[in-house]
Amino acid sequence: DDFIPGTQVFFRLEIIHRLGRAIEYHDNETGLHIVRMSQYCEHLARVLEQPEEECEMLLHTAPMHDIGKVAISDAILLKPGPLDPAEFNIIKTHTTIGAAILAGHPSRLMEMAHDIALTHHEKWDGTGYPNALKGENIPIEGRIVAVCDVFDALTNDRPYKKRWTNEAAVTYLHKNRGTHFDPLLVDAFDTALPGILEIQKRFSEPALT
């Protein structure tokens, strides 16, 4: 059981959190993206009435979604503009690299982290990457992270863009309901939004100048 209290389990969780934070510092000065996003994921999972252990595990594994970016150069991660096709093909490999880093451990915790790293850029209509999975063939944790990751990325500054308003980001989720995102998750996100905005406020970061 991944959540039996004990020094070994807590040490494992702490390593996961710190690795996720280290990767986030590649393209985010504060590393707060993974804090917000992982809490968004847990909150959305609870709104979906997922089992308690799955909700808690999602909080701890979501920070590993971009671990594969350790192999991507800063020239691409920090590029202040759109990626060209060759660069985009390179950035897409962070999913399979992340999955390879996390593969092979028998615990459910690490299995979930692996699945999130591999599938958080898959799309509901099958046009995502790396494996063009479609619909419920995408693990639920990958679908949850997809929604929460995009919402947080849109509502915060990045080297290539300024932050969007919350209203514009929610409109984007609805516009892509049934194509990029699981329709039921977009509906659940609407229900979860008050809690999402509380988390956002608690872990906000200053706008870039």
SS (H, E, C) 136-181: HHCCHHHHHHHHHHHHHHHCCCECCECCCCHHHHHHHHHHCECCCE
Query: Which 3 state secondary structure label does DSSP give 26?
Result: coil
| Dist. CA 126–CA 106, nearest whole Å | 28
Clarify whether 69 is annotated catalytic.
yes
Q: Can the peptide bond before residue 82 be classed as cis, meaning omega within 30 degrees of 0?
A: no
| Dist. CA 179–CA 125, nearest whole Å | 5
CA distances from 132 to 14, 37, 207 (A): 32, 23, 35
Which residues are bridge partners to 140 per DSSP?
Answer: none
Q: Which among 69, 79, 134, 162 is annotated as catalytic?
A: 69
Q: Are 46 and 55 in contact (CB under 8 A)?
A: yes
Residues with active-site annotation: 69
